[in-house]
Structure 1
Amino acid sequence: MILTLTLNPSLDRTIEIPALVRGEMVRAAATRLDPGGKGVNVARALAAHKLPTCAVIPRGGPEGRQLTELLEEEGIDVCAVPVTGHTRSNVSLVEPDGSVTKINEPGSVLAPDDLERIVKAVLDTSATADWVVASGSLPPGVPDTFYCELGNRLTERGVRFAVDTSGPALTAALGARPALVKPNRDELAEFAGRPMDTLDDVVAAATTMCETGAERVLASLGADGAVLVGGGMGVRYGESPVDRGRSAVGAGDAMLAGYLAGGVTGGDALVEALSWGAAAVRLPGSRMPGPGDVDRASVRSHASVDLTRALDGPRHGMEQTQ
């Protein structure tokens, strides 16, 4: 079982529009409402493939109840921890060319008592977990060291810990020596303090993360694919081209879910990661791919890496942060 923690979940409304015209009324072509948040999306992708998962989320207000109901409708085991605030809502405006304008609420402050209950829920539920995945931004009031402190407690119990976050929270989380870290191109650049213009830049930054504490780093590079560094396997690079993408929202989360699924089921984890991420890009909104959406044959995995290769694709060609 793979346990996910999303401290800042959301209700994600995706609105497809012909064009975004500032200051004008725009008629929607289609709309959908999905459960949101990076860890939530990881759980949704795993559940779509009938893999056992449990999503730990704070639940606040009527929005939190609706989020829980949507997750349960997708067959996900939900551990909802009541909190004093409310669950945020996000809006994505999607244009026909795949451009996404995303408006994210910051989320409510989590009080110390709320955090204590959430940590207890994670530790209690992790007794039967193969992985615990902490994903997404930290809501207001949560210290940057939260993921690190949680990771230390999990690794003490022998539970593999993966983290997907950004900024100071990502840097601090490396102190817990996580089994897996999944940054995107912008998060790597922020960590390294320099742009990621080539594969060499990416490998150097990921290697520094490994030297700082991560066992493995899965760096998602949008349309340029992904790089896997560490774990005694050196450097691996792969890509899965998408001719026509519909939405990059949640694609990085699907990639992380695919990597974990590959490791659990004995498949090629990098191939699973890339094929799941590409499948998510082809789907509307933040819908997560099921088995029928995944095309493993389209993945190109390279035994040798041309480190001089420039990164040409859009920075968020295969994901949007949440």
Structure 2
Amino acid sequence: MITTVTLNPAIDKTITTSRLLPGQVNRGDSVKNIAGGKGINVTKVLRQYGSSVCALGFLGGYTGRFIEEYVEGLGAESAFTQIAGETRTSTNVLSMDGYVTEILEPGPVICEEEKERFLQTYTEKLAGSRFVVLSGSSPKGLSTDIYAQLIELAERQKLRTVLDTSGELLVQGVKAKPFLIKPNTRELEYLTGKKLRELSEIREAALQLVSEGIAHVLVSMGEKGMLYATERKCLFAKAPGVKALNTVGSGDSAVAAAVMALQQEASMEDTLRLCVAISAANTTTLENAVIPKEYAAELLTKIQVTEL
């Protein structure tokens, strides 16, 4: 069982339009609402590949019910903590000129009683898990060390934790030494306090984190590729050119791929190939974290891995 935690889930509202003009009336060509949030996206990809998943987090109101029903429809176990506030909506505007604009609501405020109920559920569900994936932002009411707390609880049961977040949540979470982190370049810069312009600089920053106790560091660099560092070596791979329609959820797709590969004790090379293939395939569809599996399998055969 893989446990996914989405503290701040959302309904992802995707609007397509020919062009987005700031300060003017814009009319959408189509609108689609889907369950989202980084951990939800990870759950979606894992279920598409047949993994058993238990999804945790906070849900409230009509939007919360929508997400819970969606997760259950995927065949995942839903163990969300119900709250008084309303689950947020995130709006992605996809314009045909290639630009993607995201408008992210902050989410509800979590009270102490809701947090305690969540922690109780989390602790109970750890018993049947092998991996715990902690993804995304945190709603108001939770401290910036919330992921560190969750990592420490999982570590007590000798579970492998995966952290994919940003800002102070990432800084505090890394202190608890998760098994794997997946920053993008900007998040890695925030962690290190350095500008990382060259691949050699990204490699050095990733290996520094490894030396500080993070066993696996997976750095997503968008169309520039992906870097994977452990104490054994550092690898780089890039997908062949794909026509990207929507990049939202690509990092989450890579996280799901990494967990699947690590569960199967795949080699570093095969793990990185799978991450790059599934992440790239995700960009070719308008719905976040819906993978065209045949295309992902085709990409997998074309990805070259190099050691840095």
**TM category, shorter:** over 0.9
Match of residue 236 from structure 2: 237
What amino acid is the match of 1:300?
Q
- State the identity %: 29
Cα RMSD between the aligned structures?
A: 1.4
Q: Please list the CA deviations of residues 101-129 of structure 1 after superposition, one character each: whole Å capped at 9, or x if unmatched.
A: 00000011111221111122122112111
CA contact (8 A) 1:242 1:281 kept: no
CA contact (8 A) 1:57 1:78 kept: no
CA contact (8 A) 2:13 2:32 kept: yes
Question: What is the rounded CA distance, in whole Å, between the counterparts of 1:54 and 1:225 in structure 2?
Answer: 30
Match of residue 282 from structure 1: 284
Structure 2: where are the runs of 5+ without partners?
none
Q: Aligned to 1:219, what secondary structure does the other structure show? A: strand
Q: Please list the CA deviations of residues 266-306 of structure 1 after superposition, one character each: whole Å capped at 9, or x if unmatched.
A: 4421111111100111111314215334131232211x32x
Q: Give the 5 Å matches for 1:97-116.
A: 97-116=97-116
Which is worse superposed, 181-190 or 71-80?
71-80
Q: Aligned to 2:108, what secondary structure does the other structure show? A: coil
CA contact (8 A) 1:176 1:213 kept: no
Could you tell me how far 1:60 is from its partner in structure 2? 0.7
Q: Which of residues 269, 272, 288 in structure 2 aligns to 1:270?
A: 272
What amino acid is the match of 1:270?
L
Question: What is the rounded CA distance, in whole Å, between the counterparts of 2:240 and 2:96 in structure 1?
Answer: 19
Q: Please list the CA deviations of residues 62-84 of structure 1 after superposition, one character each: whole Å capped at 9, or x if unmatched.
A: 11011111222222221121112
Verify: 1:297 aligned to 2:296, yes or no: no
Q: Aligned to 2:200, what secondary structure does the other structure show? A: helix
Could you tell me how far 1:213 is from its partner in structure 2? 3.0
Q: Aligned to 1:241, what secondary structure does the other structure show? A: coil
Question: What is the rounded CA distance, in whole Å, between the counterparts of 1:51 and 1:292 in structure 2?
Answer: 18
Match of residue 308 from structure 1: none
* CA distance 1:30–1:287, change in 2 (3 Å): farther
Q: Aligned to 1:163, what secondary structure does the other structure show? A: strand
CA contact (8 A) 2:250 2:289 kept: no
CA contact (8 A) 2:39 2:136 kept: yes
Q: Give the ranges of 4+ consecutive aligned residues of structure 1 lying more than 6 Å apart after TM superposition.
A: none
TM-score, structure 1 normalization: 0.90
Which is worse superposed, 252-261 or 73-82?
73-82
Match of residue 259 from structure 2: 260
What amino acid is the match of 1:132?
V
Question: What is the rounded CA distance, in whole Å, between the counterparts of 1:168 and 1:186 in structure 2?
Answer: 13
Structure 1: where are the runs of 5+ without partners?
306-322
Q: Aligned to 1:213, what secondary structure does the other structure show? A: coil
Match of residue 225 from structure 2: 225
CA contact (8 A) 1:131 1:161 kept: yes
TM-score, structure 2 normalization: 0.94
Question: What is the rounded CA distance, in whole Å, between the counterparts of 1:33 and 1:287 in structure 2?
Answer: 13
Question: What is the rounded CA distance, in whole Å, between the counterparts of 1:104 and 1:198 in structure 2?
Answer: 30
